[in-house]
Amino acid sequence: MRTRRTTAAGALLTSVVLLATACGGSDTASSRSDTSGSGSDTITMWARDTQKGFINLVADAWNKGHDTKVKVTLVPQANFVQKFGTAAASGSGPDVASIDLVFLPYFASTGVLDDITELENKLPYKDGLSAAHRRLATYNGRTYALPFTAEASVLFYNKDLFRKAGLDPDKPPKNYAEIISSAKKIRALGKDTYGYAIAGQCGGCNVFEFTPHIWASGGDVITADGKKALFDTPEVTDALTFYRKLYTDGSMPAQSKTDTGTNQPALFQSGKLGMTPLGAFFVQVLNKDDKVDFGVAPLPGKNGGSASFAGGDEIAVTKNAKNKAQAQEFVKWATGEQAQTVLADNGVVPVRTDLLDKIYIPLDPRYKVLAEAMEKGRTPYSTVENALFNDSNGPWVNMINRAVFDGDIAKAQEEGQKAAQTIIDDAP
């Protein structure tokens, strides 16, 4: 009787201990053990899992030539901001983080990143770095990160479908009207063939793919100081009307309304989609597939012109980095020719505009458009970018979704503007 009781108590205790260690064994503890093990010869780095394809190659390139090794931890893209934010807040974060540039103003404003203004000023190729990245890394006149990887939004089009529809595959559409008419012709090719697709319920996609139309038409979505939302401007109305027309024409598949970003590229990969706005990463995806004959073109404005969203990552040293000197050295190296060449070879747009002709453009006939798009790429600057644009339930996506698929553009804009301005005004 007693032995059974003690066994039971023992089993219970063991399970408690097991449970406790199991709970502690999740990401925070493992990252903590990483940093504690660092001492002097390891730099810990966090990156998004979407960078899996190249980030370890970059780390390997560094590790080959340096005694201090870089150790990469991949964090799911969808909760990178939360994870990095909580880790940084509790002091268990990495030495170096590769951060989506749109979040830079937020992280810089909260003081979790190290001021590396001096480091940037000493770079001989400082002015060759992507201007959009440099702008986003600046907060109150100081620099908190260096540009690392670039991304640009462009229009992908299926050359086969263009030919079948009687369109010239070497003359992609140059304004809203041309996209609308081309999409209609491609849609007419068959029941399952669509002209144009968007990811109507994806925040990141819609800031990346839709804002260029507004910029190319001379408008903007937020003032330069980030203090006022511009959702109710005429340029936004025009762009929404353009998407709405694509939808009412039937050129857009029904999926687009609720697509969280998975259907849109898949449909283009299947060869049944005429045009879609996406980024440089997709060139590599399509090349690997080798099924679709595609071209890329700049995203146009209402009456011509073009613009692009400058995306990608910046690389920053954290305030609590255990190994600051080496971390700074690594961050600097990441903008150098060796690291940037590794990126280019893996389909990522380098951030060095002075090196584009040498290491990127020769690799693929389509890269020239992407390189040019990146050079003039823009990015909205706001400490609440996540809540305004990237949140898939935020005011930006909600406005687009309601205007395009429900049709009341004026009301969607009015409410979107109000919601966005509230978020800006409530920001700490």
- Positions in the binding site for other proteins (CB under 8 A): 5, 8-9, 12-13, 16, 19, 79, 81-82, 85-86, 88-89, 106-107, 109-112, 192, 201, 253-255, 257-258, 260, 263, 384, 386-387, 391-394, 398, 401-402, 405-406, 423, 428
**CA dihedral defined by 61, 64, 68, 74, rounded to 10 degrees?**
40
CB of 15 to other proteins, least distance (A): 8
Q: Which is nearer to other proteins, 359 or 423 (CB)?
A: 423
Of residues 54 and 144, the one with the C-beta less far from other proteins: 144
CB of 208 to other proteins, least distance (A): 17
Distance CA 352, CA 103 (A): 21
Residue 318 or 353 with smaller CB distance to other proteins: 318
Residue 319 or 378: which CB sits closer to other proteins?
319
For residues 33 and 258, which CB has a smaller minimum distance to other proteins in the complex? 258
Q: CB of 356: closest distance to other proteins in angstroms?
A: 35
User: Would you say 74 and 47 are in contact if contact means Cβ atoms under 8 Å apart?
Assistant: yes
Q: Is 32 exposed, middle or buried (0-12, 13-18, 19+ CB in 10 A)?
A: middle
Pick from 390, 363, 369, 182: nearest CA to 276: 182
Between 258 and 338, whose beta carbon lies closer to other proteins?
A: 258
| Min dist. Cβ of residue 17 to other proteins (A) | 9
Between 201 and 323, whose beta carbon lies closer to other proteins?
201
**Distant-in-sequence, close-in-space partners of 170: CB < 8 Å, separation ≥ 6:** 295
Q: Residues with Cβ < 8 Å from 291, sequence gap 6 or more?
A: 269, 271
Q: Report how far residue 243's alpha carbon sits from residue 2's, in angstroms, rounded to the nearest whole number.
A: 75
State how far Cα 101 lies from the chain centre: 8
Phi-psi label, residue 33: left if phi above 0, alpha if psi -120 to 50, beta otherwise? alpha
Backbone dihedral region of 381: left (phi > 0), alpha (psi from -120 to 50 degrees) or beta? beta
Q: How far is the CB of 2 from other proteins (least distance, A)?
A: 9
Q: How far is the CB of 410 from other proteins (least distance, A)?
A: 16
Shorter beta-carbon distance to other proteins: residue 110 or 341: 110
CB 198 within 8 A of CB 253: no
Phi, psi of 136 (to 5 degrees): -70, -25
In the complex, minimum distance from the CB of residue 304 to other proteins, in angstroms, rounded to a whole number: 32
C-alpha torsion sign, points 243, 245, 247, 250: negative
- Residue 428: CB minimum distance to other proteins, A: 6
